Structure 1
Amino acid sequence: MLLVTCAFVVFLLMGMPVAFAIGISGALFFLQHPELPSTIPIQLTITQTQNFALLAVPLFIMAGNFMNKSGITEQLLNLASVLTGRMRGGLAQVSIAMAGLMGGVSGSCIADAAMQTRMLGEEMLRRGFSRGYAAGVLSFGSLLTPIIPPGIGFILYGTVGQVSIGRLFAAGFIPALMLWVALAFTIWITARRRGYRAERETRLSGAEIGRAVTGGIWAILFPVFLLLGLRMGIFTPSEIGAFAVVYAVLIGLLAYRRLHAASSTEALEGSLMDVGAVMFLIALSGIFGYGIVLERIPELISDAILGFTDNSHGVLAVIVLFIVFAGCFIDGTVLIIMLTPIFLPLVRELEVDPVHFGLIFVIAATIGNFTPPVGSAMYAVCSILRCPIGSYTRESLPFLIAVTLVTVVLILLPEIVLLVPNLIFGKY
């Protein structure tokens, strides 16, 4: 596997698309072992996509695209302004609230960061925010997106690790609220030092608040309906993806009346591109993962970590540090697909709840999207705002510290993560 790993790293450094880097480097394993049937890579590629639970991935991607085209984004922006408009930090606070509200719509931190940057970025610069600070807020705020239902990371982790997707969805609510509070508090502190004022000084009228809540209520209810459907046994995780698509279309047609032929076509085209990229990645990961299992890499890594510490908190800390470091070079989706079979057996051996670990795993994998040298969300935001990476890195440090502190608390106190899943679905 050393040759396979080195080839994978070299291909990434060459700028090769991640899916091809995974597939080609994984195929090298079979060239090293000519005794293995040559048909196995083809079988693995096909078999990897035949998991019924994975049907939820394209359906939720399609639902997110339809909801974005339905006009719900503008309604959520208005609601976010109502919720945080009088807090110090102005549009920075609005962007964090927007990220939390958008979690149930987009499911992708990169898509959310890019969308918010296009909507709020230039206006933040006109209001006096520095480019590095604005980029840091817009990128780290999107960390909320993948841990609020229906985050794609939870679906991939639950499918690969055979963990309840419903419990994973439920586990994201309190940590997302904690991250929201931590980032909002960080903005409040830094905004005071920089002299950034609130978005509005006057108190909102009851009519304004009512209109904002009414406009955004359908998006807020979306994750609630998902959890109720799973808890009451009305839907399986795959079937609830189909419900999400129908819900998004009905909202666009009946509630906001913004969905028409042209926007529907754009939603379908965007879904086709997104689904193709994700499923192609999942398919080729089967080739790479075969060698990992055959060479007993999970056992070797487990022995190495347990040789360092056998304390469950210490093991989680080591895993998180490794994932964050790897996330500086590899996309979070790839990490979830590749590393879940390696680390999940280890934490189960230490009696760590797989839902608790899944939440920590997804947060750690997502953080890599905001860090140099190849953070996808970082590059998306910085390219739109024309912000130097050095300025971004320096001014986003307070937000990284805030996210790190919340992650440490979640590692040490699994009861926080498991509270909502246990209330909704009961204890194991």
Structure 2
Amino acid sequence: MLLVILTFVLLLLINVPIAFTLGIAGLMYFFTQASVPMPVVVQRMITGTQSYPLLAVPFFILAGHIMNASGITARLMKLADALTGHLVGGLAHVSIVLSMLMGGVSGSSNADCAMQTRILLPEMRKRGYSDAFASAVLACGSLTTAIIPPSIGLVLYGFVGQVSIGKLLIAGIIPGILMGLAMMFTAYLYARKNGYDADSRGKKKSFKELIIAIRESFWALLFPVILVLTIRFGIFTATEAAAFAVVYAFLVGKFIYRELDWVKLKTCLRDCAEDNAMIMLIISMAAVVSYVLAYEKVPVKLANFIVGVSDNPYIIMATIIVFLLIAGMLMEGTVNILLLTPIFLPIVTRAGFDPVHFGIIMAILIQIGGITPPVGVNMYTVCSLGGIPIEDFIKGSIPFAIALIIVVGLIVAFPQLSLFLPGLVK
């Protein structure tokens, strides 16, 4: 087992793609353990992707690509500007609100921050925003996209932990909004201190302009509402809702907004195939490592260690939160969900926490890992596209990371923040 860990760490340090890092590390165990037959590797790779609930992932990804190609992003940008563009640090608020709105479209925080960096960063620089502040807003604000439904991470958590995906998606609404509000408050304090967009204060859009922006964004805003309601009333399962999302995105783009042509659709299908190939390869390789961990009884040993720390459920949760924060700094989010859910979920349920409640906490903590070194995917995306030094980003992101950790603390202390809406689902 030690060889597996050393191989994994070494490959991670030399930037080998995470799917191959997992696969090679898993294979090392089978090479050194004659008691475990090699065909198990292939069996685990195949069975790791054979799941009906897992079908929601490619459907949501395809729906997100189609919606982005249909002019929805531009309309949501206009609405976000109408709602918050008049505030101090207006463009920062526009970015955060846009991410919250995009949560109902793409489900991918990394895709959202890449898109926003290309669109908003040049304008932020024109308005005098520092690179530290601008990059932090773009990367940290995008994290709400992966919590507000549809969320790919929550779908994977539900798949691995055998937790209701429908309840998880609905549970992400209030925490996602709370995250957005916390980051808007942080951005407001930061912008007010530095005088960003101070001259725009009070320049609200007219009521007519706001109505026009809402009307133009109506079909985009309707999608997450339909998603939640169809799951709430049992019309669709989460997987069926994801398939419906693809049809909905196509109809809106082709016949309502009329911006989706066959060339764009072909590009969407190609990009979706690439994204899904990457995700499914990671899932199949992670299934091999998960088997190794289970075979060596690592979840049981770690559970005994954590439970041995204290009998207090909140101390147990705090210990797991620290584990997840550290893991988020070292591994990509998808891998964390696939590997750590089977380990931590039994511990927290035994401590008395609801699995849906823990799923939201885990999803947020893993997203925080996207803005922390050394493996922060969102951090590297914004910095590479904007030509911004990593140290500048880290300096600007600290207040936002603190705000997000405070939100996690509130969700732990007040479970109804995540369980109220799922409680309405029969």
What does residue 251 of structure 1 align with?
252
Per the alignment, residue 189 of structure 2 pairs with 189
- Give 2:384's aligned residue: 383
Answer yes or no: is 1:148 the counterpart of 2:136: no
Q: In structure 1, how many angstroms separate the alpha carbons of the residues matched to 2:311 and 2:76? A: 45
User: Residue type matched to 2:19 in 1?
Assistant: A
Determine if the alignment matches structure 1 residue 262 to structure 2 residue 263: yes
Within 5 Å, which residues of 2 pair with 1:23-42? 23-42=23-42
Residues of 1 paired with 2:255 and 2:210: CA distance? 22
* Deviations 1:259-318, CA, capped at 9 Å, x for gaps: 001111111111011010001111111111111111111111111111112222222221
The runs of 5 or more residues in structure 1 that have no matched partner are none
Name the CA distance, whole Å, in 2 between partners of 1:320 and 1:254: 46
1:410 matched to 2:387: no
Residue 11 (str. 1) matches residue 11 (str. 2): yes
Structure 1 stretch displaced more, 150-159 or 402-411:
402-411
- Look up the match of 2:77: 77
After superposition, residues 52-63 of structure 1 pair within 5 angstroms as: 52-63=52-63
**Per-residue deviation, 1:204:** 2.1
The letter for the 1-side match of 2:338 is I
Residues 311-354 of structure 1 show CA distances to partners (whole Å, capped at 9, x for unaligned) of 22222221111111111121111100110010011111112100
After TM superposition, the structure 1 = structure 2 runs for residues 278-293 of structure 1, keeping only pairs within 5 Å, are 278-293=279-294
How far did 1:53 drift? 1.1
State the match for 2:166 in structure 1: 166
2:275 and 2:196 mapped to 1: Cα distance? 37
Measured against aligned partners, the alpha-carbon deviations of 1:141-181 in whole angstroms (never above 9, x if no partner) come to: 01101111110000000000000011101111111111111
User: Quick check: 31-40 or 382-391, which moved more?
Assistant: 31-40
CA contact (8 A) 2:56 2:242 kept: yes
Report how far residue 201 of structure 1 moved. 4.2
Instruction: Name the counterpart of 1:314.
Output: 315
Aligned counterpart, 1:130: 130
Within 2, Cα distance between the matches of 1:86 and 1:223? 26
Deviation at 1:90, TM superposition (A): 1.5
1:387 CA displacement: 0.9
Give the aligned CA root-mean-square deviation in angstroms. Answer: 1.1
Q: Distance in 1 between matches of 2:290 and 2:130?
A: 44
Distance 1:192 1:49 in 2: 49
Q: Secondary structure at the match of 2:258?
A: coil
The 1-side partners of 2:204 and 2:370 are apart by 37
- Of 132-141 and 301-310, more deviation after overlay is shown by 301-310
Greater Cα shift, 308-317 or 53-62 = 308-317
Please give the alpha-carbon distance, in whole angstroms, between the structure 2 residues aligned to 1:392 and 1:15: 21
Partners of 1:197 and 1:4 in 2: how far apart?
52
Give 1:32 deviation, angstroms. 2.1
Count of aligned positions = 425
Residue equivalent to 1:297: 298
Shifted more, 380-389 versus 69-78: the winner is: 380-389
Look up the match of 2:273: 272
5+ long unaligned stretches in structure 2: none
Please tell me the residue identity of whatever aligns with 1:357: F
Offset, 1:240: 1.4
Aligned to 2:395: 394
Aligned 1:181-260 pairs, distance under 5 A:
181-197=181-197, 199=200, 201-260=202-261
Distance of 2:347 and 2:116 partners within structure 1: 38
The letter of the residue matching 2:123 is E
Show the counterpart of 1:45: 45
What letter is aligned with 2:282? L
Matched, 1:337 2:338: yes
Shift of 1:417: 1.0
Paired-residue identity, %: 46
The AA in structure 1 aligned to 2:39 is T
The separation in 2 between residues aligned to 1:295 and 1:331, in whole angstroms, is 23
Alignment partner, residue 358 of structure 2: 357
Q: State the Cα distance separating 1:200 from its structure 2 match.
A: 6.4
Structure 1 counterpart of 2:21: 21
TM-score with structure 1 length normalisation?
0.97
Which residue does 2:119 correspond to in 1?
119
2:147–2:364: 8 Å Cα contact kept in structure 1?
yes
Give the Å deviation of 1:231: 2.1
Residue of structure 1 equivalent to 2:371:
370
The one-letter code matched in structure 2 to 1:42 is: V
Letter in 1 for 2:322: L
164-173 vs 204-213, which moves further: 204-213
CA drift of 1:188 comes to 1.1
Measured after TM superposition, the shift of residue 203 of structure 1 is: 3.2
Structure-2-length-normalised TM-score: 0.98
Deviation, structure 1 residue 206: 2.6
Give the Cα–Cα distance (whole angstroms) in 1 for the partners of residues 124 and 191 of structure 2. Answer: 13
For residues 389 and 349 of structure 1, what CA distance do their matches in structure 2 show?
Answer: 40
